[in-house]
Amino acid sequence: MAAAKKAESGQVAPASKDRSNKKAVNESELLTVPDGWKEPAFTREDNPRGLLEESSFATLFPKYREAYLKECWPLVQKALNEHHVNATLDLIEGSITVTTTKKTFDPYVIIRARDLIKLLARSVPFEQAVRILQDDTACDIIKVGSLVRNRERFIKRRQRLIGPKGSTLKALELLTNCYIMVQGNTVSALGPFNGLKEVRKVVLDTMKNIHPIYNIKTLMIKRELSKDPELRTQSWERFLPQFKHKNLNKRKEPKKKNVKKEYTPFPPPQPESQVDKELASGEYFLKESQKKRKRVEEIKAKQAEAINRRQEERNKAFIPPKEKLVVKPKKASTETKIDIEAIKEKVKKAKKKKLGALPVEEVKLKIAAGEKKKKKKK
């Protein structure tokens, strides 16, 4: 009765509060996978009677893979025999077939065996392809050949995914924990499910002309954010970079631009008709035969001009270029001989000359001699 009265008055019992808190806690726990959790392995005890029907899968492989498959085939058979799956290599038809046996207890192992032979056919080495038989590993074969129409453009974008000396592909492998093999028109990836999802996104974006470096930057930021336990349940949109597509091509302008003329209230002048033109030139009063002769003469004159123009253009090739006048170098005259004795006398006179200002007496004598010469001339 007391509980009923409390319910009527609007008071909630503490037991109901605990239940709502437990539900909220359980829902948050379900959203996150505990660290270190691993799915238990499927053993013989889970399926002691085995499989009722025999399942098989076959795939073709290219001719260039024949030598490698022959070499590693014993290892493939040994790995599949551990899971009780038979494998046959047909070199005549170029195919690999895997089938279950009576001892096979795991129903999903035939799917993993099918993926194994697909990866071997797509040039993935056996050491990596055999990992598909593990429970925590999956594979994804992405077909990229039909995504780009132009073959040259497709090769450039595929090379962009690989990067210089395979650096872009190596960075993608480290961030996604996946093995990636680019071969022909397909990209084979092998690793955990989350990593395969990221690899597929990067590969398809690259084929859509989005550079893989943008996706690699985003993956690096996500990797750092996942280490923080507080940010796991929050949205990461504010931390991730937003790359905008820049269209660098300028807008194409039309060849003929319609320019609006200034408005005038007067209508445009009426164009002259053919009859008006003939009246102005006097052709209207000519006979039909004269008109025809005039047209023929005009056509012949135009043809003659065209012929002359063509002939001039042809003759240009035969006109020699103007040569520059060659100036012959003057030979040194052998007649002029050097007088060594005269040079010696000049050197002696120069040595006798005193440096510095002349004495006062010599200056007076020179002035007097100059005055005498002037008087004689007068």
pLDDT at residue 151 greater than cutoff 90: yes
State mean pLDDT over 102-111. 92
Could you give the C-alpha distances from 365 to 78, 357, 377, in angstroms and in order? 132, 15, 19
Q: Are 63 and 72 in contact (CB under 8 A)?
A: no
Distance CA 125, CA 90 (A): 19
Structure tokens of 376? 């004689």
pTM over 0.85: no
Which candidate, 119, 126, 236, 136, places its Cα nearest to that of 177?
136
Helix %, strand %, coil % of the chain (to 5):
50, 10, 40
Q: What is the pLDDT of residue 1?
A: 38
DSSP 209: T
Average pLDDT over the chain reads: 83
Give the pLDDT confidence score for residue 187 in this predicted structure.
95
pLDDT at 262 over 50: yes
pLDDT (tens digit per residue) in 17-45: 455 555 545 555 555 667 777 888 888 88
**CB-count burial class (<10 Å; 0-12, 13-18, 19+) for 163:** middle
Question: What average pLDDT does this structure show over 97-124?
Answer: 93
pLDDT of residue 373: 76
Comparing 34-38, 50-54, 285-289, 309-313, the range with the smallest average pLDDT is: 34-38
Place of tokens 């974006």: 205
Q: What is the per-residue pLDDT for 6?
A: 42
Cα–Cα distance between 211 and 171 in angstroms, integer? 14
